[in-house]
Amino acid sequence: MNFMALKQPENSLLGSESDSQRTLYPYVTGTSVAALKYKDGILMAADMGGSYGSTLRYKSVERMKPFGKHSLLGASGEISDFQEILHYLDELILYDNMWDDGNSLGPKEVHNYLTRVMYNRRNKFNPLWNSLVLGGVKNGNKYLGTVSMIGVNFEDNHVATGFGNHLARPILRQEWHENLSFEDGVKLLEKCMHVLLYRDRSAVNKLQIAKITKEGVTIHQPYSLKTYWEVSAFENPAQGAIGSW
């Protein structure tokens, strides 16, 4: 019998009582988002998969959403937390519009807001389990930033989340340059998405490309990439393997 059992106050973070009050692990998740600046604005790509652990449960999840006049938000990680963030942002944009003063929140301001939200949730040990990509154009200025679930944030000419950090960013570092045309930008993003499709087990072959320019946001219809699996090593994989049968 345990007379000296540890007595914890109700509100401590140790123990099962308080675990129901905060995020411990993600459930339905989206994989990488990749984005880059090009001549007229920002291009962003994400596939439409929502995984439930190792199951590819949902295949039509829109992980990029426009909001306000100037911004586009893409997210990887927990889908329900992404939906909550969209709810916060709707409220933010609403209050901004209600001022009716001719001013509107630009992507830089929204990025700052999201950084504060993610960081403060992390400090309360109840994170929004997402990595966000925020892109936009305001007054001719292109902006592309990212925030992680622990509040790490920065802006750059090209960003990626999740596996994209490891697979897409090296490609972007090598091949990105200023003033990419729309076609070249899409080609470059598709190259990244190709690699992710081959090598990220949670990627699905149904992706969307989104574009934001000073004219506004366009999220294109979903489509799939052509893949090639006739690699000779896959045809007879056991051929050279000693001891295999």
Partner 1 sequence: MASSGFQADVKALQKHLAARHLIYQHQHNKQMSCPAMAQLLSNTLYYKRFFPYYSFNVLGGLDNEGKGCVFTYDAVGSYEKVGYSSQGSGSTLIMPFLDNQLKSPSPLLLPAQDAVTPLAEAEAIDLVKTVFASASERDIYTGDKLEIVVINADGIRREYMDLRKD
Tell me which residues are annotated as active site: 23
CB of 72 to partner 1, least distance (A): 23
Return d(Cα 103, Cα 69) in angstroms, integer: 11
- Name the amino acid, one letter, at 60: S
Distance CA 105, CA 32 (A): 26
Asked if 130 is part of the footprint of partner 1 (rule: CB under 8 A), the reply reads: no
- Residues 90-119 touching partner 1, rule: CB under 8 A, are 115, 119
Beta bridge partners of 28: 52
Query: What phi and psi, each to the nearest 5 degrees, are found at residue 236?
Result: -135, 75
Candidates 69, 151, 169, 175: give the one binding partner 1 (CB under 8 A): 151
Pairing of the two strands 71-78 and 28-30: antiparallel
Instruction: Kindly provide the residue ranges of all beta strands, DSSP E only, lying in the chain, ordered along the sequence.
Output: 28-30, 33-37, 41-47, 50-52, 55-58, 64-67, 71-78, 130-138, 141-147, 153-155, 158-160, 207-213, 216-219
What radius of gyration do the chain's Cα atoms show?
21
Assess 152 for contact with partner 1 (CB under 8 A): yes
Interface segment toward partner 1; rule CB under 8 A; list 15-23, 102-110, 148-156, 201-209: 148-156
Q: Please tell me the distance from the alpha carbon of residue 100 to that of residue 89, in angstroms, as a whole number.
A: 17
Query: Which of 69, 108, 122, 169 contacts partner 1 by CB under 8 A?
Result: 122
CB of 24 to partner 1, least distance (A): 19
CA–CA gap between residue 153 and residue 146 (Å, rounded): 6
Q: Using the minimum distance from each CB to partner 1, give the nearer residue, 76 or 153.
A: 153
Question: Which of the ranges 43-51, 73-81, 147-155, 195-203 carries the binding residues for partner 1, by CB under 8 A?
Answer: 147-155
Q: Which is nearer to partner 1, 38 or 176 (CB)?
A: 176
Q: Which of 153, 161, 202, 208 is the binder for partner 1 (CB under 8 A)?
A: 153
Cβ–Cβ < 8 Å for 135, 35: yes
Residue 14, interface with partner 1 (CB under 8 A)? Answer: no
Cβ distance to partner 1 smaller for residue 52 or 125: 125
66 binds partner 1 (CB under 8 A): no
User: Which one of residues 12, 13, 150, 215 is an interface residue with partner 1 (CB under 8 A)?
Assistant: 150
- Interaction site with partner 1 (CB under 8 A): 115, 119, 122-123, 148, 150-154
